[in-house]
Amino acid sequence: MTDFAATKAMFDLPEGVIYLDGNSLGPLPSAAKDRVANMMTEEWGKMLITGWNKAGWMQKSTAVGNRIARLIGAEEDHVIMGDTLSIKVYQAVASALEMNPSRKVVLSDNGNFPSDLYIVQGLLKSLGAEYELRVVDPEVVAENITDDVAVLMLTEVDYRTGRKHDMKTLTAKAHEAGALTVWDLAHSAGALPVDLAGCKADFAVGCTYKYLNSGPGGPAFIYVAPRHAEVARPALSGWLGHEAPFAFELDYRPGRGIERMRVGTPPVIQLTSLEAAMDIWDQVDMQDLRAKSIELCDLFIAEVEAACPELELASPRDGDQRGSQVSFRFREGYAAMQALIERGVIGDFRAPDIMRFGFTPLYIDADDVRAAVAIVKDVMTNDLWDNDAYKQRAAVT
Amino acid sequence: MTDFAATKAMFDLPEGVIYLDGNSLGPLPSAAKDRVANMMTEEWGKMLITGWNKAGWMQKSTAVGNRIARLIGAEEDHVIMGDTLSIKVYQAVASALEMNPSRKVVLSDNGNFPSDLYIVQGLLKSLGAEYELRVVDPEVVAENITDDVAVLMLTEVDYRTGRKHDMKTLTAKAHEAGALTVWDLAHSAGALPVDLAGCKADFAVGCTYKYLNSGPGGPAFIYVAPRHAEVARPALSGWLGHEAPFAFELDYRPGRGIERMRVGTPPVIQLTSLEAAMDIWDQVDMQDLRAKSIELCDLFIAEVEAACPELELASPRDGDQRGSQVSFRFREGYAAMQALIERGVIGDFRAPDIMRFGFTPLYIDADDVRAAVAIVKDVMTNDLWDNDAYKQRAAVT
């Protein structure tokens, strides 16, 4: 059994704060600052350029990728770190489109994180007018996987409501229809068990600064299924994805397997911070995490609904249909969230009316949930109407 | 006058090392580790998600860009940080090509850093078979700027020999011929004064982990000339380049000016390390730096040529034609460089026979140069023939 009291003790959490926004930016692992300081002074400071080999900087992108692979059900040596999630989306969709050249449609849904849609819009504009991004409601994705779809690109867990797509079913349906899949795991990696290999996903991407706790701007990851790894052409063909980067040849030759998805020089300081976070993850069983996450979310829903009838559940009630967050709709949600933050309960707000709370068993427990609900109730009963954000809004409307 | 003794005192340099590889990875600014530790504990640790506003994380990409702008002669608010240099090359060339749609040729030279060529090869393959990357010798670039060239993409300073292109003349010639320019400043930014505005450069890109000393994997920068800034379409259209990222709209609208060249979440930890390095740069006059750099390079050339007739100068003898590095050709250069590194003189080797030495007035002075030459002489006279790398090679050939 995962010892979540032990993992909680491995984070520096500020006094008086109940942090329910780890789905946006995870908190600081206690060990991270010393790990980074050590990397800076003992490796960069003392080894200088030789750190690339001596300190293993060049291998970090694959070494860390393999530690994340376990959390998302990926095969060994098929996940690599680097860049940002948006860049990794571009790489994945560009490669997938080329592998399905007779088709020109990318299918996605309007619950996807906007950056994924923007990136594909930019890519398709470069590729030509015959390409199309087709965006449908999340509920009707399955029936829209028609035989002109080249790539199905979805974020598994909706960033606003936590609604979870069925990766296995949708991937199978895409394959039946002759489409490839790109799964964005931004709100999945570290939030719930993912089984990329079992689902036969083609490509997957994700970030590390949310549930994985790598710090602001931590590197992203990309997964390419073993059956595609030697086939996919990297559109962003940078030197570290070359078969022999230090031969300094004039022509690009893609590196072996996932290595070709490297682009430029890896962000070693951010990767070091991520390594400290992965030391915590290495102690976590994902099934335990999932059970605890559902328990915390269910508790929050039950207690909020009992205490605050004004708040309307925006997330699926069934834990199996949800990621690791709970959202409520409330017309004065912005003001309410400001009031909550002032009281030390940190969630966030997404327009027009979503109050969003992330539950992260690594450092949030049932006592935190109950304490948070007490403050939510108090805010809804007392504080809200005195809140500046509410008064400003009331003055305008 | 810039006080280079003062800047030297602001770096942590290991005892017994003369570091002549700052053109590959700059050393650790003494203040960087505390800056980063403070950012991690006081900002990330305590502010958590609110750090994006409270600690100014979201503005760092432009704030740091403006500090770099001074070093490269860019107009204010036209340089932005993020991603890696290879990604920034992709952005710049993709935008420039679209702004010159009737032409399909990117002209570059075989002295360019391979990643730039690789990235363009990848981009052009995505764009279609009608596009061509034309690679010529550096000496004949000017005469090859024909009227079918859409984009002239050059690295100002050759990474192997330090040979410097004439940015002003080549840019003018490109413009006369109807081409746009993309200048890679990897070996220029922090190495010599650059005058992007005065040269009327269109796009420029560069990295920060070499002469600017941001640490391994520090973020890159991109410059877009003011006249293009509202025109250039970002091919990598990520959410932070959107006009209103936090409106979470479904369709991409490019942000204002250089802001649209943002892609994903900025690497705040690496940017913080870069800020510590920029505190040193803020004290440096680029004309002083250039004078000192040429003086150090000239001294090294003169002393090495006097002491080691086996070493053949591979860099331009005229300081005005050079960046801030000096290279010598030597058949046993690999073994010689290994021997030098063992003796604490850190330069590097580029196949087949280039021994490369970077001169960085911020932390290298004339005494260091003389001490380095004494060791070079000693290695060439005594150590080399006992060196493992030499003996292995001798055993094979």
Q: What ipTM was reported for this prediction?
A: 0.96
Q: Rounded mean pLDDT of A45-62?
A: 97
The pLDDT score that the predictor gives to residue A368 is 98
Q: Are strands A325-329 and A312-313 parallel, antiparallel or unpaired?
A: antiparallel
The pLDDT score that the predictor gives to residue A388 is 75
Beta-bridged to residue A28, according to DSSP, are A12
Mean pLDDT of chain B: 96
Q: Rounded mean pLDDT of B75-100?
A: 98
Residue A392 and residue B208: Cα distance in Å, rounded? Answer: 44
Residue A296 and residue A373: Cα distance in Å, rounded? Answer: 12
Question: Binning pLDDT at 50, 70 and 90, where does residue B392 land?
Answer: confident
Q: Is domain A4-30+285-396 given the CATH code 3.90.1150.10 in the classification?
A: yes
Identify the H or E element spanning A4: helix A4-8
Q: Rounded mean pLDDT of A202-207?
A: 98
Beta-bridged to residue B375, according to DSSP, are none
Residue B267 and residue B58: Cα distance in Å, rounded? Answer: 10
| Count of pairs with CB atoms under 8 A, one residue in A, one in B | 267
Which of A89-98, A201-210, B308-317, B383-392 has the lowest average pLDDT? B383-392
The pLDDT score that the predictor gives to residue A384 is 74
The pLDDT score that the predictor gives to residue B385 is 73
Residue B341 to residue A50, Cβ atoms within 8 A: yes
Chain A CB contacts of B86 under 8 Å are: 236, 238-239, 263-264
Give how far B235 is from chain A: nearest CA, Å: 5
Q: What is the pLDDT of residues B69-82, one digit of tens each?
A: 999 999 999 999 99
Residue B265 to residue A348, Cβ atoms within 8 A: no
Which chain A residue is nearest to residue B13, measuring alpha carbons?
A45
Question: Binning pLDDT at 50, 70 and 90, where does residue A69 land?
Answer: very high
Residue A217 to residue B251, Cβ atoms within 8 A: no
Q: Does residue A24 surpass a pLDDT of 60?
A: yes
The pLDDT score that the predictor gives to residue A334 is 94
Residue of A4, A11, A19, A113 with catalytic role: A113
Give how far A7 is from chain B: nearest CA, Å: 16
Helix (H, G, I), strand (E, B) or coil at B341: helix
Residue of A67, A103, A104, A210 with catalytic role: A210
Give how far A154 is from chain B: nearest CA, Å: 14
Q: What is the pLDDT of residues A103-139, one digit of tens each?
A: 999 999 999 999 999 999 999 999 999 999 999 999 9
User: From the CB of residue B348, how many other CB atoms can be counted at a distance below 10 Å?
Assistant: 20
Q: Do residues B125 and B151 lie in contact, with contact meaning Cβ atoms separated by under 8 Å?
A: no
The pLDDT score that the predictor gives to residue A213 is 98
HEC-encoded secondary structure of A283-326: CCCHHHHHHHHHHHHHHHHHHHHHHCCCCEECCCCCHHHECCEE
Give how far A249 is from chain B: nearest CA, Å: 6
Alpha helices, H only, chain B: 4-8, 32-38, 46-47, 51-54, 60-72, 85-98, 114-127, 167-176, 196-199, 226-229, 268-281, 286-307, 333-342, 366-378, 388-396
Question: What separation, in Å, do the N-terminal and C-terminal C-alpha atoms of chain A show?
Answer: 53
Q: How far is CA B45 from CA A27, B53, B108, in A?
A: 6, 14, 46
pLDDT > 90 fraction of chain A, expressed in percent and rounded: 95
Of A85, A217, A248, the CB nearest to B351: A248
Q: What is the pLDDT of residues A152-192, one digit of tens each?
A: 999 999 999 999 999 999 999 999 999 999 999 999 999 99
Q: Does residue B184 surpass a pLDDT of 80?
A: yes
Q: Do domains A4-30+285-396 and A32-281 have the same CATH topology?
A: no
Q: Rounded mean pLDDT of A96-101?
A: 98
Write down the domain spans for chain A: 4-30+285-396, 32-281
Question: Binning pLDDT at 50, 70 and 90, where does residue A233 land?
Answer: very high
Q: Do residues A120 and A92 lie in contact, with contact meaning Cβ atoms separated by under 8 Å?
A: no
Q: Is B155 annotated as a binding residue?
A: yes
Q: How far is CA A113 from CA A116, A159, A167, B19, in A?
A: 6, 7, 17, 46
Mean pLDDT of chain A: 96
pLDDT > 90 fraction of chain B, expressed in percent and rounded: 95
Chain A CB contacts of B249 under 8 Å are: 114
Joined tokens for residue B127: 């764009």
Joined tokens for residue A305: 């609904």
Joined tokens for residue A321: 């249909």
The pLDDT score that the predictor gives to residue B391 is 73
Residue B25 to residue A40, Cβ atoms within 8 A: no
Chain B CB contacts of A217 under 8 Å are: 57, 265-271
Question: Binning pLDDT at 50, 70 and 90, where does residue A30 land?
Answer: very high
The pLDDT score that the predictor gives to residue B58 is 96
The pLDDT score that the predictor gives to residue A394 is 66
Residue A14 to residue B90, Cβ atoms within 8 A: no
Q: Binding site for pyridoxal 5'-phosphate: what residues of A are annotated?
A: 85-86, 113-116, 155, 184, 187, 209, 239, 265
Q: What is the pLDDT of residues A272-310, one digit of tens each?
A: 999 999 999 999 999 999 999 999 999 999 999 999 999
Q: Does residue A395 surpass a pLDDT of 80?
A: no
Question: Binning pLDDT at 50, 70 and 90, where does residue A216 land?
Answer: very high
Chain B CB contacts of A251 under 8 Å are: 117-118, 121
Residue B372 and residue B300: Cα distance in Å, rounded? Answer: 9
Q: Rounded mean pLDDT of B357-365?
A: 98
Q: How far is CA A265 from CA A255, B87, B324, in A?
A: 15, 10, 22
Q: Rounded mean pLDDT of B290-307?
A: 98
Chain A CB contacts of B94 under 8 Å are: 126
Question: Binning pLDDT at 50, 70 and 90, where does residue A263 land?
Answer: very high
Catalytic positions of B: 113, 184, 209-210, 356
Q: Does residue B388 surpass a pLDDT of 90?
A: no
Q: Does residue B394 surpass a pLDDT of 90?
A: no
Chain A CB contacts of B239 under 8 Å are: 86, 113-115, 118
Question: Binning pLDDT at 50, 70 and 90, where does residue B218 land?
Answer: very high
Q: Does residue B397 surpass a pLDDT of 60?
A: no
Q: Binding site: what residues of A are annotated?
A: 85-86, 113-116, 155, 184, 187, 209, 239, 265
The pLDDT score that the predictor gives to residue A382 is 85
The pLDDT score that the predictor gives to residue A397 is 54
pLDDT > 70 fraction of chain A, expressed in percent and rounded: 99
The pLDDT score that the predictor gives to residue B374 is 97
* CATH class of this structure's domain B32-281: alpha beta
Residue B87 to residue A238, Cβ atoms within 8 A: yes
